[in-house]
A and B are shown apart, each in its own frame.
Chain A
Amino acid sequence: MASIITQPVLSTQPFNHTRFRLLAGIPLILGIALSFLGVAFDAQWHTDVGPDTFFTLPHAIWYSAIATAGLTSLFVVLYSTWSYQRGQSIFPKEQLTFIWPVFRAPMSFVITGIGSAMFLFMGVYDLTWHGTFGFDVTPISPPHQGLFFAVLLNMIGTVAVFGSASTKRSNGAFIGLCIATAITLCYVPLFAYLSMLFPVPNGFSMTIAGFYTLAFLMVSSATGRVGAATLTGLFLLFIRYLAWFITPWATKVYSASIGLSIRDDPSQFPPFTEDIPIYAFAVALLLDALLLLCKRRNFPVRLSVIAMGALTALLLVLPVQFIWGNWHNLAVSTWFAAPVLGALLGFTGWKLGAVLREGAR
């Protein structure tokens, strides 16, 4: 009897490791959010003021954001390994992945950490690039895309950190997953620029619409709750407006404080931030209403997901194309291609939600 009472209750409660995971997720969210604001600030800085040296405030913010995510995951990996070696693993054993030579930690934190490490590597790669080609501010260069994709590792790791905990039906995991997904969606336009290398009509808008559809259906399926897509859309809106107002202001204050003035031909709208479709919130709201309807009427799941994916992508691609100012460039093929892509990616997103819920570690 006495032994039961004196047992370390905390480490044996399944609830405890979930709570630890959520707690560790907070600095990760801070890190990835700051890394979006950092890159948005950097883009605004380059287009509006832009002496190009490594030592600028936007770079400092961006790199600290990466460090926040990286150090947090390093801490979790080390702590998890240490607790495992002591025989009192903080995470259940089935959640641990063995990383050579001694580490045992949940994969989601490992991925987040690898993202930060790769970011540093891409930083060096970028430096050699600029050493050869001089400075440039295009989003479409191999090292710049490398930096963006390294941050995507941070983001996907964070999504998995919360996605894995979503089995527990905890509100923390639900909110965390929606925030992490929303921040990842803010980053999608940065990769979407790659579509410009391919001769796909409306490729940029299609990429954004496709990934947003995937993400909205993923969070719905992972959390198993109506409202996940709406909440994700709401956070997306919040971060978008935060960047929209902060980066132009910060650019002005920063440039004035070091005696530099704004260019004669500055950006009209905050770069990158302007590419985030605000309409996505309304589409997410509609998607949730449809999900509720399908559930109430008990429509077949597969068919409903495919139909909702198609509709979501179509509703997203039109406003994105409109925001981008080339409404008249909307190709006829897009009216057909967008729903097909949406059905495919929506279906994948739904299954990916199940992967997150059941398999993310």
Chain B
Amino acid sequence: MKYLLTSLLILLTLTFAQQEKRPELAHTETVQIGPYSMKVGFSRWPVLAQQSLDVLFMPEGGIKGKTATLTVIDPAGDFWAEGYIIPRFPRDRSIWGFDITAFDIEGQHKFKLELDGPEGKATGEIDVVMLPPPPFLPTLVSWVIGLSPLIIILVTVLTAWFRVRPGKRENTWVWQV
């Protein structure tokens, strides 16, 4: 059974195989973190609030033997991330990064980076300004569209309910079970 499923998966996989590469960067910034120099790359630039993008972290000399943590403070003063160990980028293991990440609110975000490596621990920071979110339908309208199947469910159930009037039926209130 397991082999059958595996072969089925592989068969289907051949149809859907799409190996993705590191995204093309729209913008990079260079941050000096003590003795280390690190490039921070963005797959979209400028960064819009609520619009997802890939953010890559590429220290000079590679990531080997180093760890980095990220703290992002948004304009409201809240932590978007707090001391988060940056994982390797899923589609390119030689660098660090986040894929499909988004920042909820517009304004200046402070990126605090801490890097630990052969030359010791150091910190550095950059500011990134997120522009207003891209235009879309008003929030209420987008939710009404999204919840429209629920409206159909409610109408159907209520129609059946009022046709049957279960509360007034005697056999609803006798033990059949």
Per-position binary interface string of chain B over residues 155-177, scored 1 when its CB falls under 8 Å from any chain A CB and 0 otherwise: 01100110110110101111111
- Chain A contact patch, size range: 35 or more
B25-33, B72-80, B113-121, B142-150: which lies at the interface: B142-150
Q: Counting CB contacts under 8 A, is A57 at the interface?
A: yes
A51-B18, A153-B152, A220-B177 known; A260+B91 contact, CB < 8 A: yes
A132-B134, A295-B175, A302-B173 known; A142+B149 contact, CB < 8 A: no
Please name the residue on chain B nearest to A294 by beta carbon. Answer: B175
Q: Complex: how many Å from CA A264 to CA B146?
A: 33
Say which residue of A129, A302, A351 sits within 8 Å of B166 (CB atoms): A351
> What are the residues of chain A within 8 A of B147 when measuring CB–CB?
142, 145-146, 149
Q: Counting CB contacts under 8 A, is A19 at the interface?
A: no
Distance to closest chain A CB from B87 (angstroms): 3
- A60 lies within 8 A of B134 (CB): no
Distance to closest chain A CB from B141 (angstroms): 9
Main secondary structure of the interface of A (DSSP, over half): helix
- B153 lies within 8 A of A263 (CB): no
> What are the residues of chain B within 8 A of A53 when measuring CB–CB?
18, 20
- B100 lies within 8 A of A57 (CB): no
Please name the residue on chain B nearest to A146 by beta carbon. Answer: B146
- A150 lies within 8 A of B149 (CB): yes
* Docked complex: A273-294 residues within 8 A CB-CB of B: 291-292, 294
Q: Counting CB contacts under 8 A, is B40 at the interface?
A: no
- A118 lies within 8 A of B160 (CB): no
- B134 lies within 8 A of A133 (CB): yes
- B161 lies within 8 A of A355 (CB): yes
Distance to closest chain A CB from B8 (angstroms): 10
* Docked complex: B1-42 residues within 8 A CB-CB of A: 6, 9-10, 12-13, 15-20
- A260 lies within 8 A of B169 (CB): no
* Docked complex: A153-208 residues within 8 A CB-CB of B: 153, 156
Say which residue of B18, B149, B171 sits within 8 Å of A149 (CB atoms): B149
- B149 lies within 8 A of A354 (CB): no
Say which residue of B88, B156, B175 sits within 8 Å of A264 (CB atoms): B88
- A258 lies within 8 A of B13 (CB): yes
* Docked complex: A101-155 residues within 8 A CB-CB of B: 107, 111, 114-115, 118, 122, 125, 129, 132-137, 141-146, 149-150, 152-153
- Going nearest first, the 5 A-B pairs with the smallest beta carbon separation are A142-B146, A134-B52, A224-B176, A264-B87, A354-B166
Beyond A351-B172, A358-B164: 7 further Cβ-contacts under 8 Å? A114-B152, A129-B136, A136-B52, A146-B146, A149-B147, A149-B150, A353-B166
Q: Give me 6 A-to-B residue pairs in the complex whose CB atoms sit less than 8 angstroms apart, sorted by A's number.
A: A55-B18, A133-B134, A145-B147, A156-B157, A258-B13, A354-B172
